[in-house]
Structure 1
């Protein structure tokens, strides 16, 4: 019974995705044409890299503390 409900849920989700309008995003086209989209992508990548570095450093510290105990 759970599998059938899950399958129906997935089918409903898929139909919601196909129901989206196919209009273009004007802001993205403007930023892409002027080259500013690359600045936005670079900024997001830097933020994610910083977060990943921070999380890995916290993980290393926790492993040290766990080994000491």
Structure 2
């Protein structure tokens, strides 16, 4: 029963469409400006965004290094 449910859900998910396909035109390749980024850069908010991203990535890195140290310590205790 559980296998049939998984197969059914898989079949349903394959039929799902996230968005419509749009035709790509030559103008799409010539558009190099990103309005949101340009506005944020002009008002100075882009630096706040980059700082927040840096803080989040730094926090993730510190968490991973701390977890690795704890795991290494536990592996040493387990071996001895």
TM-score when normalising by structure 1: 0.69
Aligned to 1:21: 29
User: In structure 1, which of residues 21, 39, 59 is the aligned counterpart of residue 68 of structure 2?
Assistant: 59
Stretch moving more, 20-29 or 51-60: 20-29
Question: What is the DSSP-based 3-state SS (H/G/I as helix, E as strand, rest coil) of the residue aligned with 2:29?
Answer: coil
Q: Give unmatched runs, 5+ long, in structure 1.
A: 1-19
User: In structure 1, which of residues 44, 47, 52 is the aligned counterpart of residue 56 of structure 2?
Assistant: 47
Question: What is the DSSP-based 3-state SS (H/G/I as helix, E as strand, rest coil) of the residue aligned with 1:67?
Answer: helix
Task: Kindly indicate which of the two structures has a greater share of residues assigned to helix.
Answer: 1
For residues 30 and 52 of structure 2, what CA distance do their matches in structure 1 show? 28
Paired residues, number:
50
Aligned-residue offset at 1:21: 1.6
Question: What is the DSSP-based 3-state SS (H/G/I as helix, E as strand, rest coil) of the residue aligned with 1:21?
Answer: helix
Q: Give unmatched runs, 5+ long, in structure 2.
A: 1-27
TM-score when normalising by structure 2: 0.60
Higher Rg of the two aligned structures: 2
For residues 42 and 52 of structure 2, what CA distance do their matches in structure 1 show? 18
